[in-house]
Amino acid sequence: MAAKSPVIPSNIVLTLVESVGRREDAEFYLRLFRELPKHSFAIVAPDAPSLLEHPGRVVEDLRVLAHLGLFAPVVLGLFQPSDAEAQADALGAQLSAARLKSRRYAAHAPRLLERLKLDLEESRVPVVSFSERTPTLFSRFTQIGEWSRWLGVRKLVLVRARGGIGPHLTGNLDVGLDHQLLATERGISLINLRRDLAGLLASRVLDDEERELLSGVGEAMQLQEPGAEQRPGSMPEGLVTSVTAPSNLLHELFTVKGAGTLIRHGSRIDFHTGYGSLDRERLGALLEATFGHQLKGSFFEREPTGIYLEQTYRGAAIVSAADGATYLTKFVVDRLAQGLGIGRDLWEVVTRDHERLFWRARPLNPITQWYQSQCDGMVRTERWNIYWRGVRHENIPSLIQQALALPPDFET
């Protein structure tokens, strides 16, 4: 009888995960994933080139996930169904060599979802193979969307040898009039289906293969219900999709920034003219959890001119009237939502409505670098950094004094 594979202590595995990101991110996402039902963690779908060009890499990452108590179905043949059986043979042998329990299924197998759920709850890796019986990529994505909904899966991870979607060049991509998307050497960073899908499909940014891929992802995610009520601390959307290279699978799962292309439904930002039309307790909890301090009792007594609020209370921007510009009282995004583009959605709405804007932040604020990239100018003081954009030069000294004179919003 073969010796059992030694159990890797969680702290050692976390150190491994830390090598592709910040340890606090790894611990944060691990805690989040472990709170989910075992069958709701993810679905992983590698393409044939990623398995051939990086043999064993996906299995090694599955082994790390297994030692963390996380298991996901592996879907083969999503992109090349004719190769799926050969891929399943090779993958099964690699899983066995890695001492991981697995079972194979055809995508059309009876009672498939019940079997997948049972396997995942019993710490097995189900391997599901598509065939020519599901002839189009779009129809295969439709089926994955149905599986995701039934299992309550939070993340679909598409592993491709070519990595993320779009050009692998650093810079902004024009996908329409006044519509740009950020790209890196790993592809387009974030695609918001609500805002970006039509423009991307109509542009020349993507080739035919990637247009088909993105249309399929949109179909799979369409079956979810992004507007449903979320409990505090839960994942903010029914399903998000990551497209990444084999070498970046763990980085994509366990870091805020990710390492490929993240595709999400997109945020609905509601505008409120005062605190009376929203849940003040939920907004206060968002502010206190994100800033790590208790709000002063007088905070909600100072009525703003507007509150921009993401519909599930994952992000908010509060603005107030001031002399010469609009004062951004608070800009906040829930920790879990920071990698999902909600901050970008909020910022675009606020800056669209307020051409002249100024705000302040503590020097050690973790998004200081991002604030610097968004402002036209700033000044540093011992207690505050003051930022502005679109402001007339002659108004800047007055705005700085106004910002410095405002009382603190949190208890010290």
Max avg pLDDT among 107-121, 192-206, 231-245: 107-121
The better pLDDT of the pair 8, 196 is held by 196
Nearest to 242 by CA among 296, 165, 167: 165
Question: Given a cut of 90, is residue 402 above it in pLDDT?
Answer: yes
Tokens read off for 151: 């299992």
Does residue 223 have a pLDDT over 90? no
Percent of the chain scoring above 90 in pLDDT: 63
By CB neighbour count within 10 A (0-12 exposed, 13-18 middle, 19+ buried), where does 355 fall?
Answer: exposed
pLDDT score at 30: 81
- How confident is the model at residue 12, as a pLDDT? 57
Residue 327 is given by DSSP the state E
pLDDT at 39 over 60: yes
Q: Is residue 40 predicted with pLDDT exceeding 90?
A: yes
- pTM (2 d.p.): 0.78
Query: Which tokens in the block code for residue 106?
Result: 């055809």
Q: What is the pLDDT of residue 67?
A: 87
- Residues 6+ positions from 297 with CB-CB distance below 8 Å: none
Sheet with 190-192: strands ordered across: 102-106, 125-129, 74-76, 43-46, 155-159, 240-244, 260-264, 190-192
Distance between CA atoms of residues 410 and 292, nearest Å: 9
pLDDT given at position 236: 41
Q: Report which of residues 385 and 236 the model is more confident about.
A: 385
| pLDDT tens column, 58-104 | 999 999 899 889 999 999 999 999 999 999 999 999 999 999 999 99
Q: What is the pLDDT of residue 145?
A: 93
Q: How confident is the model at residue 306 (pLDDT cuts 50, 70, 90)?
A: very high
Task: Note the pLDDT of residue 5.
Answer: 43
Average pLDDT, the chain: 88
Q: How confident is the model at residue 24 (pLDDT cuts 50, 70, 90)?
A: confident
Confidence of residue 409 (pLDDT cuts 50, 70, 90): very high
Mean pLDDT over 32-37 rounds to 87
Chain segment 114-165, per-residue pLDDT in tens: 999 999 999 999 999 999 999 999 999 999 999 999 999 989 999 999 999 9
Q: What domains, with CATH codes, occur in the chain?
A: 10-264 (3.40.1160.10), 269-405 (3.40.630.30)
Using CA atoms, how far apart are residues 343 and 308, in angstroms rounded to an integer?
11
* Residue 21 clears pLDDT 70, i.e. is over it: no
pLDDT at 7 over 60: no
pLDDT of residue 9: 58
Helices (H) and strands (E) in the chain, counts: 14, 18
> What per-residue confidence (pLDDT) applies to 266?
79
Reported as a single tens digit per residue, the pLDDT across 273-288 is 999 999 999 999 999 9
